[in-house]
Structure 1
Amino acid sequence: MNAVTHFTVWLMQRYLPDAFILAVLLTVVIMLMGTTLGGHTPFEMVDYWGKGFSALFKFAMQMTLVLVTGYALALTPPVRKLLDRLTDIPKTPPQALAMTALISFFGCYLNWGFGLVIGAILAREMGRKVQGLHFPLVVAAAYSAEIVRGPSSSIPLVVATPGHFMEQLTGIIPVTETLYSGWNLLLTGLILAALIGLYLSIRPKPESVISYEGHAESPNRAAAALQEPETFSEKIEHSRVMNYVLAVMPALYLAGYFMKKGFDLNLDVVILIFLLLSLLLHKHPMALLDAVKEAVVSSRGIILQFPLYAGIAGMMTESGLVMVVADWFIEIATPETFPVLTFLSAGLVNIFIPSGGGQWAIQGPVIIEAAKSLHADIPQTVMAFAWGDAWTNQIQPFWALPLLGVAGLSAKHIMGYCVVWLMLSGMVIGGVFLVLTFI
């Protein structure tokens, strides 16, 4: 395992370009595929790209705010103290890796956006405090936890919602048959065990260990903390009361939301929770704004690259390439192999359309029709698709951008480890779906 890992790390660090360059190369690849396999003209492909370019503007803003508010929360004095105590627990690099993977896994299980930010912040603090810890490795462990499918997984939630767009095909499939089925909970446990086991088994060469090189305290924040407000405007800017005044709004909204819907997390709710806690825990508005200033720098990858992937998704969808890929797998499927092939096809398309809900809207009807004609298990097909969508996120920089922004690394620093995790997790997930077909 270590030999394979060392090879993939060397390969990725030597040949994998920056995530922005990778997005550009994927754009070119899909353009060529659309004009050859899809039979479209270059002008048509450009039109599809342009129409898709703005499709993720809202999502990009949501992810930017998740990162910014989560980062700002991490810089509050109480959270910094909590992180200090947590990172005092592990004494060795393996212990730090296991703890980071475990906390990130449960964070991502609750909500993937929440888990990514919490995992990145925890990894950064582990890198700062644990001597001898290979920083890219602990960041990779935090990111690899994103594979888990939990209560915020869009696909099983969609098919469990009355009136969903495929209700005539599938009916209403309760989450007790998908997310919370016995076999899926077992798969979730196996994935957690495999995740921790993998990262405990990796031993970087001593000469290749990269330590965390960030700073514990921003010079701007340190200087601002020592400066006493003098003028009336400065006293208002440094008054904690102003934070509390604004905090009333998200506090009241969230109280009403949770009373009506229970513990139902989504990106908008996560953002409001992070904002509320940041307002309550920062000493004054200027401290919050200074933390946000640091966080915005980390969000540049999201702001620039999410629209590029939206353009790629637009070309894949409008040109029919998504259906071409789906048909390839359906043609060779049997009732026994259909869930596994669904998992693989979802994983392949996800590289180009990194959006579970959007991908399901395109592929879902064809996948379900094929499953019914083959008499394959529909709930298993739904979850095979959901796991496939998560599986190749491990090698898709699109989803790693928020975490990498917080950690201050590029994709090539962690991708070698993620490739190994892709292979191992693929065998675990694919193996479970193969076994299920014979039970």
Structure 2
Amino acid sequence: MAPAAPSGEKQGLFARIALGFTGWAEKWFPDSFIFAAVALVIVAAAAMANGAGPMAVSKQFGVGFWSIIPFTMQMAFVAITGYVVASSPPAARLIEKLAAVPTTGRGAVGFVALISILASMLNWGLSLVFGSLLVKALAGRKELRMDYRAAAAAAYLGLGATWALGLSSSAAQLHANPTSLPPALFKMVGVIPFTETIFLWQSIAMFVILLFISVAIAWASAPVGSKAVTAQDMKIDVDLKTAALPPRERPGEWLEYSPLLTVIIIALSLGWMIDEFTSKSWITAISGLNTYNLVFLMLGFVLHWRPRAFLNAVAKAVPTTTGVLIQFPIYGSITAIMVSAKGFGGLSLSDQIAHFFVAISTHDTFPVVMGLYSAILGLFIPSGGGKWLLEAPYVMQAAIELKVHLGWTVNVYNAAEALPNLINPFWMLPLLGILSLKARDIVGYTFLQLVLHMPVVLFMLWFFALTLEYRPPFFP
């Protein structure tokens, strides 16, 4: 916990509200699994109230539970590979060089925000871990007198502001890979390639604007001078030295410590990558989630060089996937119940909610209505891919009825879904663990980001939607 603020420092209104909210959330918010389980119960009850029989609902629970296992494992690997790459020795050397760039504490906070957001375009796990380690490296430069809390909040901005507009976007990856989609959802919307989601010029423009705003807010809100609370003030150890591999103790460990297998496996993967990226466009290649994960996995392998070091990094990364592994099957069941458990008039729960969205929206207002809804729901279901599986059936159905660009509908979700991450402690956990902080230490800064992001994001969702024309679903 942070020490009392230095003399003369007074918390702003937003920070006081945010600190109060986080204190309440830490006391009363249950684990995110409970939210997923409660959502399942509510959806099952709503489907039966809509006229679906109990056995029909139970059947769809079982059908849907294992329906997205490939996607579940794919998203677990996004987290694992990001951690493995960010914690490698070459990444540590890069962090050391980057930490020498800033010349002031406030500049260091803005710099962390910039690096975190740029890294989030490649991989959200990479953004969290790399940003956290950069904060620790900068905190070791005592002459900067960098506010440790503000820097930690800046390191979180990749996940809290932009990650879903990048290559590891759960929703965009899901729709670009038909084998990852639940069958009922694929029948509705078909395939939506990256060229229709994160590679739209409108999406890129939104990312650039959010990058500028986020970095500016991080810089402007960072305390300076005597008001800055450093890692040393908080008595937090920021030593980045990692334990070297212990010497091998038996002959059977030779291959674990030798780079021989690394060289052979990387050679095999390079041959595959050359074929993959020369036989199709790079956009098509990288939009395959299996391709994306394998590239990052092999990168982590070569950066750690020795199999034992690589395996140690993977072991440390696996705990970050717990929420994904246990919650995503439940979201698969929710999706199946919503789409396939038919009730009165042959309409599913998804049909009824879609009709409601159509009734309260127009083609022009739908992005704003949907954005607000997704942001609010994200406070209670902090899972980009899992929550989209819950929302997608009725949201995409409404978009088709209102003739809203389907790829932009995915991006509306992407931008809006990231907003609640700024104050929800769930995705902060890896960063907080690395930096030895509590959510209450940083949420005052991230809450300020949320307040200023919200109107800008909603405006962009509406404005850019006006520049896009509807295209019917594509089925390869």
1:424 is matched with which residue?
A: 452
> CA separation in 1, counterparts of 2:28 and 2:265?
39
Aligned residue number for residue 371 of structure 2: 343
2:397 corresponds to:
366
**Structure 2 residue aligned with 1:259:** 278
Q: Given the alignment, which residue of 7, 10, 13 partners 2:23?
A: 13
**Superposition deviation, residue 24 in structure 1:** 0.5
Distance 1:36 1:64, change over 3 A: closer
Distance 1:15 1:55, change over 3 A: same
Counterpart of 1:144, as a letter, is G
Bigger shift: 261-270 or 44-53?
44-53
For residue 113 of structure 2, the aligned residue among 98, 101, 126 is 101
The SS at the match of 2:361 is coil
Offset at residue 85 of structure 1 (A): 0.7
Is the CA contact 1:346–1:388 (under 8 Å) kept in the aligned structure 2?
A: yes
Letter aligned with residue 425 of structure 1: H
Give the Cα–Cα distance (whole angstroms) in 1 for the partners of residues 35 and 185 of structure 2.
34
1:144-170 deviations in whole A, cap 9, x for unaligned?
A: 2435524665767888999x9999999
User: C-alpha distance in 2, partners of 1:72/1:187?
Assistant: 29
After TM superposition, list the pairs within 5 Å mapping 1:237-386 onto structure 2: 237-261=256-280, 262-263=282-283, 264-265=285-286, 266-307=288-329, 309-310=331-332, 322-348=350-376, 352=381, 354-355=384-385, 358=389, 361-372=392-403, 383-386=411-414
- Report the 3-state secondary structure (helix = DSSP H, G, I; strand = E; otherwise coil) of the residue aligned with 2:99: helix
- 1:90 match: secondary structure: coil
Percent identity reads 24
* Mapped pair 1:82 → 2:94: yes
Distance 1:433 1:332 in 2: 17
The answer on whether the counterparts of 1:120 and 1:142 sit within 8 Å (CA) in structure 2 is no
Shift of 1:75: 3.5
SS at match of 2:292: helix
Q: Deviations over 1:163-222 (max 9, x none)?
A: x9999999999977765555544333222122112222334665697575465344xx43
Structure 1 distance, partners of 2:367, 2:296, is 38
Aligned partner of 1:126 in structure 2 is 135
How far did 1:371 drift? 1.6
1:83-232 matches, cutoff 5 A? 83-109=95-121, 111=122, 114-130=123-139, 131=142, 132-134=147-149, 136-147=152-163, 149-150=165-166, 179=198, 183-203=202-222, 206=228, 213=237, 216-218=240-242, 221-222=243-244, 224=246, 227=247, 229=248, 232=251
117-126 or 310-319: bigger deviation? 310-319
**What secondary structure, in the 3-state scheme, does the structure 1 residue paired with 2:240 have?**
coil
Deviations 1:250-286 (A, max 9, x none): 2221222122232542443333223323333335222
Aligned partner letter, 1:273: V
Provide the rounded CA distance (Å) in 2 between the counterparts of 1:275 and 1:181.
27
Q: Distance in 2 between matches of 1:245 and 1:303?
A: 31
Aligned 8 A contact 2:64 2:333 in 1: yes
Decide whether aligned partners of structure 1 residues 230 and 100 sit closer, same or farther in structure 2, where only a CA change above 3 A counts. same
Structural RMSD (CA): 4.5
In 2: Cα distance, 1:50 partner to 1:87 partner: 50
Using the TM superposition, give the Cα deviation of residue 11 of structure 1 relative to its aligned residue in structure 2, in angstroms.
1.6
SS for the counterpart of 2:71 is: helix
What is the CA–CA distance in structure 2 between the aligned matches of 1:369 and 1:190, rounded to whole Å?
Answer: 28
Greater shift in the superposed pair: 164-173 or 352-361: 164-173
1:66 and 2:78 equivalent? Answer: yes
How far apart, in 2, do the equivalents of 1:324 and 1:413 lie?
42
Q: Does 76-85 or 133-142 show the bigger shift?
A: 133-142
Structure 1 residues 246 and 100, CA gap change in structure 2 (3 angstroms): same
Q: For 1:161 and 1:59, locate their aligned partners in 2 and report how far apart those are by CA, in whole Å.
A: 9
Gaps of 5+ in 2: 1-10, 342-347, 468-476
Q: Distance in 1 between matches of 2:265 and 2:40?
A: 46
Q: How far, CA to CA, are the matches of 1:230 and 1:154 in structure 2?
A: 43
TM-score, structure 2 normalization: 0.71
Q: C-alpha displacement at 1:331, in angstroms?
A: 1.8
One-letter amino acid of the structure 2 residue matched with residue 70 of structure 1: G
TM-score (normalised: structure 1):
0.76
Contact 1:34 1:321 in 2 (8 A): no
My pick for the range that moved more, 13-22 or 63-72, is 13-22
1:236 positional shift: 3.6
Native 8 Å contact 1:60 1:303 kept in 2: yes
**Aligned counterparts of 2:332 and 2:317: Cα–Cα separation in 1:** 24
Where in structure 1 are there 5+ consecutive unaligned residues?
none
Which residue of the partner structure matches residue 14 of structure 2? 4
Instruction: Confirm or deny: 8 A CA contact 2:66 2:329 kept in the other structure.
Output: yes
Structure (1 or 2) with the greater helix fraction: 1
Pair 1:321–1:17, CA change in 2 (3 A): farther
Structure 1 position 338, deviation (Å)? 3.0
Measured against aligned partners, the alpha-carbon deviations of 1:60-101 in whole angstroms (never above 9, x if no partner) come to 433333333333333433221111111222244433332232
Matched to 1:21, the amino acid is D
Q: Please tell me the residue identity of whatever aligns with 1:260.
A: S
Cα distance in structure 1, aligned partners of 2:273 and 2:266: 11
- Residue 404 of structure 1 and its aligned partner are, at CA, apart by 6.1
In structure 2, what residue type is equivalent to 1:332?
A: I
Deviation at 1:354, TM superposition (A): 3.6
Q: What's the secondary structure of 1:222's corresponding residue?
A: coil
Query: Per-residue deviation at 1:287?
Result: 2.4
d(CA) in 2 for partners of 1:234, 1:414: 43
Tell me how many residue pairs correspond in the alignment. 427
Change (3 A) 1:6 1:177: same
* 34 and 159 in structure 1: CA distance in 2 versus 1, 3 angstrom threshold: closer
